[in-house]
């Protein structure tokens, strides 16, 4: 079900919203600023929602698969009444958010970006969304994604390609491209994506926003259309690290608020395998970021993780491709979708995802059990222990590297290959090159905006920390964010 706003609704929202300049200002507030203004009654949730509806218009960037206009307006009105009545307010009271359309939302279709699930309407929210709603968040809509989360362009043949927030002809990244683009384009202050090999961090990097992949197992995954139980996790996307801290606190029940770390005490590892063969502009911005970090007192430590990178390259795909056959089939049955794995595969629309299902999951190239067990029992423990040893031996707070080796590429030319330093290289493995190894290990990763290329395209800086160091990683992000350039809104905003 594709629901766009009609011209009439757009006009109505514009008429109901604040004056043009004020509406523009309130849509650029952070989630924390929105929550504070609503609680202090200097901003109403209704005015905020109407301003975002007006800004979204008919969704030319193809950010949404469904947009619950009536539900959003009703929820905003109820939020305003709660404030007026003096009721206790949650930390996200009245704040509009977006959620990737593979995360179950009560009463709305959860399509996974694939035709066979268009009619599936969950009876309850996924726990990760439920926690945000219980804190007062308002769900604007469900965002577009790479079909079944199996890709990084978000060029979805069933629902259309998601446009990059900074250049509508470029990819938004994936698979959480809709959430990344919505937050980058100031259509929502924050939202949820999912990340199996980079699907929160890549769209965050390409759309000039911040995204957290938490340690696997730290966030609940129930109610999310799965790929791999070993590798999947939901993760928040926002424009500031403070908002990631806020969402993380709500989801995990952690103490609200964090103090930035003292950068003069920080040691960051710089791994050669993730910092070479970069596009010229990515390389320039990465070097500038390292220079600024050193000037702020950070100690940079060259480290060797070549063994871990090699093992992750061998283990990552066997784990995901074997587990999706088990985990997606179980999900479809558990949630009474009335569908089986073959039913999903029969209707897959995107050619790249169709090939994966027909050949690598259900076909004669499917991963043998022995290969999966070798990846899980032998290689993955070595990857995890190797990362842990690198962090401990070098007394590192985190590793630092570019989130992707190159910025967003043209939608029309990126389905199979992209050009990197004059060479045509495969799109998917090139864009996940830096994000996937930590995903296989299950460690947390944080992508921050590092600046804009000469062509005005965002580049991301990633920090990967030890397992379950998520809160320290966020505190580090608060500090690192202060030395990186301010990220301007897209020119159209």
Please list the residues that pair with 98 across neighbouring strands.
141, 191
199 is known as an active-site residue = yes
Backbone angles phi, psi at 26, to 5 degrees: -70, -25
What contacts 76, CB < 8 A, 6 or more positions away? 44, 45, 46, 48, 49, 94, 96, 138
175 is known as an active-site residue = yes
314 token code pair: 């061998």
Cβ count near 85 (within 10 Å)? 7
Residue 168: closest CA among 460, 487, 456: 456
- Catalytic residue selected from 66, 176, 199, 228: 199
400 token code pair: 């630092």
Going from the C-alpha of 296 to that of each of 98, 261, 471, the distances in angstroms are 35, 12, 21
What contacts 263, CB < 8 A, 6 or more positions away? 293, 296, 297, 298, 479, 480, 483
3-state secondary structure of 132: helix
100 is known as an active-site residue = yes
What contacts 330, CB < 8 A, 6 or more positions away? none
Residue 202: closest CA among 241, 171, 168: 171
- Catalytic residue selected from 100, 118, 130, 131: 100
CA–CA distance, 121 with 133 (Å, rounded to integer): 18
Helix or strand holding residue 69 (H, E): helix 69-84
- Catalytic residue selected from 44, 66, 154, 175: 175
What contacts 324, CB < 8 A, 6 or more positions away? 226, 227, 228, 361
Triad 302, 307, 313: Cα angle to 5°: 115
Catalytic residues, by residue number, are 100, 175, 199
């Amino acid at each position: 079900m594709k629901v766009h706003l009609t011209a009439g609704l757009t006009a109505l929202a514009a008429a109901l919203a604040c004056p043009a300049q004020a509406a523009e200002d309130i849509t650029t507030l952070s989630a924390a600023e929105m929550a504070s203004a609503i609680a202090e009654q200097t901003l109403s949730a209704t005015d905020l929602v109407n301003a975002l509806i007006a800004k979204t218009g008919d969704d030319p960037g193809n950010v949404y698969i469904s947009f619950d206009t009536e539900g959003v307006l009703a929820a905003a009105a109820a939020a305003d009444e709660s404030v007026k009545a003096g009721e206790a307010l949650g930390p996200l009271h009245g704040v509009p958010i977006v959620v990737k359309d593979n995360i179950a939302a009560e009463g709305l279709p959860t399509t996974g970006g694939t035709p066979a699930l268009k009619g599936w309407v969950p009876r309850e929210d996924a726990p990760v969304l439920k926690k945000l709603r219980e804190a007062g968040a308002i769900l604007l809509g469900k965002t577009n994604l790479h079909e079944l989360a199996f890709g990084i362009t978000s060029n979805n043949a069933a629902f259309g390609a998601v446009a990059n927030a900074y250049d509508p002809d470029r990819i938004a990244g994936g698979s959480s491209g809709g959430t990344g683009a919505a937050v980058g384009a100031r259509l929502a202050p924050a939202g949820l994506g999912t990340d199996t090999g980079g699907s929160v961090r890549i769209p965050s990097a390409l759309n000039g926003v911040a995204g957290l992949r938490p340690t696997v197992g730290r966030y609940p995954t129930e109610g999310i259309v799965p790929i791999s139980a070993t590798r999947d996790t939901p993760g928040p996307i926002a424009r500031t690290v403070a908002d990631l801290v806020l969402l993380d606190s709500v989801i995990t029940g952690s103490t609200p608020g964090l103090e930035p770390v003292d950068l003069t005490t920080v040691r960051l590892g710089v791994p050669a395998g993730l910092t070479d063969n970069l596009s010229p502009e990515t390389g320039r911005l990465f070097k500038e970021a390292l220079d600024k970090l050193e000037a702020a007192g950070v100690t940079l430590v060259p480290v060797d993780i070549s063994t871990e990178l090699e093992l992750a390259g061998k283990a990552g795909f066997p784990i995901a491709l074997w587990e999706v056959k088990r985990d997606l089939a179980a999900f479809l049955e558990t949630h009474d979708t009335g569908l089986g794995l073959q039913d999903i595969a029969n209707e897959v629309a995107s050619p790249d995802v169709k090939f994966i299902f027909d050949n690598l999951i259900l076909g004669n190239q499917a991963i043998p059990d022995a290969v999966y067990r070798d990846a899980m029992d032998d290689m993955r423990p070595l990857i995890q222990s190797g990362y842990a040893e690198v962090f401990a031996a070098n007394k590192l707070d985190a590793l630092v590297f570019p989130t992707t080796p190159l910025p967003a590429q043209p939608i029309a030319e990126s389905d199979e290959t992209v050009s990197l330093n004059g060479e045509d290289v495969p799109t998917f493995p090139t864009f996940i090159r830096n994000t996937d190894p930590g995903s296989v290990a299950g460690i947390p990763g944080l992508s921050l905006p590092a600046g804009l290329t000469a062509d005005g395209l965002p580049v991301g800086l990633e920090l990967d920390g030890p397992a379950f160091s998520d809160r320290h990683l966020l505190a580090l992000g608060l500090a690192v964010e202060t030395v990186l350039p301010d990220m301007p809104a897209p020119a159209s905003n």
